[in-house]
Amino acid sequence: MGMRIGYARVSSAGQKLDVQLDRLADCEKVFHEKASGRSAKDRPELQKALDYVRDNDVFVVTKLDRLARSVVDLAGIVQKLESKNVDLVVLDQGIDTTTMYGRLQFNILAAIGEFERELIRERSLEGRAKAIARGVRFGAKPKLTKLEIQDLIRDFEAPGCSKTEIAEHYGISRSSVYRLYAENCIEVSE
C-alpha cells in the first residue's frame, strides 16, 4: 500500500483549517488551501495533490464538499484518481474505495455525475438550437460592415495597394484581409 495523502480546504480567509488538519493527522503529506473555486482548476493545492499522488496511494478528505463543488467536478477528480490507481477516503461520509462497498458507493456517485454532465450538454445543445432558430448568431461580431468589406475588396484589387496598409486602415490583420477577400469574392461570383 502507498502513502496516505490528505487534502483540506476552507472557503474563506476567516475560516480555520485546524479541525480538518487534526482529522488528517495520520496522512504522510497534507495539502491545504483557502479557496472557494468552483472547479478543481481554481484550487492550485488540489491540483498539486492530484499530481502528487501515485499508484496505490490513498487520497483522504474530511468531507466530500471539501474536495468537489459539484457532482460534475467530483466525477472529474475521481476519474483522475482512478487513472492513477489511487483510492479515495472521505471520512465524514464513510466513503472508502479501498473496500468493495466503498467502490460501489463511489461508482453510483460517478454514474450520477456522468448523467448530470449529459443533461447539461443536452440542455446546452437544445438552447443553442432554439437561439439559432430565433436568428441569434454565435461567435465574434464582424469588425467590418458590408460597405467596408466592399471598399476592402476594391482596395485589394487596386494596383499598388499594400495588403499591410489595407489591414492597418481597417484595423484587422493581414490574414483577415485575405480571408475576407476570398470569402466575399466567392459569394459574389456564385
The pTM (predicted TM-score) of the whole model is 0.59
Both 153 and 107 in a single domain?
Answer: no
Residue 160, phi then psi, degrees to nearest 5: 80, 5
Do 71 and 36 contact (CB within 8 A), yes or no?
Answer: no
C-alpha span between 122 and 116 (Å, rounded): 10
Per-residue model confidence as pLDDT tens digits over 47-103: 999 999 999 999 999 998 888 877 778 878 888 998 999 999 999 888 898 889 888
Domain of residue 34 covers 4-114
Shared domain check, 19 and 105? yes
Indicate whether 176 and 100 sit together in one domain: no
Regions of the chain with pLDDT less than 70: 13-14, 36-41, 186-190
Q: Which of 11, 162, 173, 175 is catalytic?
A: 11
Amino acid identity, position 115: F
Residue 19 resides in a domain: yes
Could you tell me if residue 131 is inside a domain?
Answer: no
What's the pLDDT at 176?
92
Q: The domain spanning residue 25 has which CATH number?
A: 3.40.50.1390
User: Which residue type occupies 171?
Assistant: G
**Are residue 18 and residue 81 in the same domain, yes or no?**
yes
Q: What is the pLDDT of residue 37?
A: 61
Report the number of distinct structural domains present in the chain: 2
Are 66 and 151 found together in one domain? Answer: no
**Does 11 qualify as catalytic in the annotation?**
yes
